[in-house]
């Protein structure tokens, strides 16, 4: 009996040993992390090459090792994207102006401002323009919004609904000093074939704004502003989006199908199609998938265009998509027009993740990434995550910067090993041995009971 029990314990120990963590040398590449300031926790923004070499879309093939090549606790926190922060809208008061000069020091205009900075009235001694007349210039008051404005939506009234007009926006915080904010933005409403094209939103830079000055760069042609609305988020996303172009890997011109490779597992938030020829409009279905073995999933269906109206270029704004780390993307034309034999360019915007690690042991610390044979379950430290999620945590966290890149196992680490599943085999052997032990014990007990009864 002891022999059987010892055999079971031996197999269990082998199964546990087979589940040991992988070593630093098992990863494709590494980055030396420079930690100049002394701290317990360090934050590191993951660079592009990490996303180009990881295998698992949950980023489980990333580890941080200390000088002794021991893994240290780490967490990866997804930066918030625009779609995760609820957008709010407020209408902005505006005032038509007889000329572009707007200052509190100018005698031409009488600008009345409240103690809170709100514009109450604008009156001109030379010329009076009300909201019902055509004006080339407008003063827009955004002083009551304490958050960064992402974009502005305009509603336009006028004699025509077929137009494409360029505008300019300037900003000021005191009504005296003005700075260019947006140049040559286009407001569009027109019919093109069977499609209605309307663009009434102007995106703004990431900047706090109190006052805006609106200017028609083209002849207004009787167009007047009806309403102006500001779009903003109370919890604004400050991390920068990175734009890149995917590589065209396959095409079927006759069927209007184009396949692209982003060459990595990026947190893609927006996509756009750059059309190779002027005056092109396409109706497309955009799909994506994680790998060549995965099924295609729909991401967006709609139109993209590159048109010229009165020497003004009109293009489709980037499309927001739910962030998935899908490497492969496909464009499928839904109409017979297509783009001829020219090739479209697929652009995508992504945002980096933040890695936090506990500086246990001595440095230098090495970020290792890319391993096809690591467990696909995410290895995280719940205690470390609870600290990171607390606000503020800046006093405990220092920033690590990227040092030299280190080649470890190279591309060999990105190939999944086709080996026997020893851990599963050992587990089954343990179970079988356990059943045999119990069976022998039951058999001996029955024999003993029969002997006693006789």
The percent of residues above 70 in pLDDT, for the chain, comes to 77
Instruction: Give the per-residue pLDDT at 112.
Output: 60
Assign 367 a pLDDT band (cuts: 50, 70, 90): very high
- pLDDT digits over 176-216, tens only? 888 999 998 888 888 776 777 888 999 998 888 899 999 99
Does pLDDT of 307 surpass 80? Answer: yes
270 strand-pairing partners: 320, 349
Across residues 331-342, what is the average pLDDT? 80
Residue range 168-183: mean pLDDT, rounded: 90
The per-residue pLDDT for range 230-279, each reduced to its tens digit, is 998 876 555 678 999 999 999 998 888 999 999 999 999 999 999 988 88
pLDDT band of 144, cuts 50, 70, 90: confident
- Domains of the chain with CATH codes: 2-75+362-414 (no CATH), 88-232 (2.60.120), 242-350 (2.60.120.260)
């Amino acid at each position: 009996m002891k022999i059987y029990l010892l055999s079971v314990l031996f197999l269990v120990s082998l199964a546990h040993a087979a589940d040991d963590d992988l070593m630093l040398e098992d990863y494709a590449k590494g980055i030396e992390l420079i930690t100049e300031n002394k701290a317990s926790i360090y934050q590191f923004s993951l660079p592009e090459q990490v996303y180009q070499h990881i295998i698992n879309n949950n980023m489980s093939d990333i580890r941080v090792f200390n000088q002794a090549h021991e893994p240290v606790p780490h967490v990866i926190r997804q930066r918030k994207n625009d779609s995760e922060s609820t957008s709010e809208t407020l209408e902005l008061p505006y005032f038509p102006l007889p000329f572009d000069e707007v200052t509190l020091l100018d005698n031409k205009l009488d600008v009345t401002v409240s103690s809170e900075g709100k514009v109450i009235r604008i009156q001109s001694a030379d010329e009076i323009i009300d909201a019902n007349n055509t004006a080339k210039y407008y003063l827009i008051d955004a002083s009551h919004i304490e958050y960064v404005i992402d974009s502005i939506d305009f509603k336009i009234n006028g004699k025509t609904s077929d137009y494409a007009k360029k505008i300019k926006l300037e900003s000021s915080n005191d009504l005296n000093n003005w700075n260019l904010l947006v140049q040559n933005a286009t407001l569009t409403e027109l019919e093109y074939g069977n499609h209605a094209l309307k663009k009434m939103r102007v995106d703004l830079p990431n900047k706090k704004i109190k006052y805006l000055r609106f200017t028609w760069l083209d002849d207004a042609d009787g167009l007047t502003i009806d309403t102006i609305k500001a779009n903003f988020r109370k919890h604004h996303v400050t991390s920068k989006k990175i734009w890149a172009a995917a590589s065209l890997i396959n095409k079927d011109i006759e069927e209007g199908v184009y396949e692209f490779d982003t060459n990595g597992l990026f947190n893609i938030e927006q996509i756009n199609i750059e059309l190779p020829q002027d005056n092109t409009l396409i109706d497309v279905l955009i799909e994506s998938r994680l790998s060549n073995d995965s099924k295609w999933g729909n991401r967006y269906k709609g139109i993209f265009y590159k048109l010229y109206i009165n020497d003004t270029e009109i293009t489709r704004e980037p499309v927001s998509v739910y962030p998935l780390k899908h490497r492969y993307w496909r464009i499928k034309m839904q109409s017979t027009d297509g783009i001829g034999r020219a090739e479209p360019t697929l652009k995508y915007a992504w945002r980096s993740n933040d890695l936090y690690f506990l500086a246990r042991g001595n440095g230098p610390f090495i970020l290792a990434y890319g391993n096809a044979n690591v467990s696909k379950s995410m290895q995280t430290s719940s205690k470390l995550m609870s600290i990171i999620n607390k606000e503020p945590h800046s006093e405990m966290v220092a920033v690590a910067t990227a040092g030299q890149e280190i080649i470890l196992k190279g591309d060999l680490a990105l190939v999944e090993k086709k080996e026997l599943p020893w851990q599963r085999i050992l587990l089954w052997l343990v179970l079988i041995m356990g059943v045999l032990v119990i069976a022998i014990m039951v058999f001996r007990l029955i024999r003993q009971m029969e002997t006693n009864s006789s």
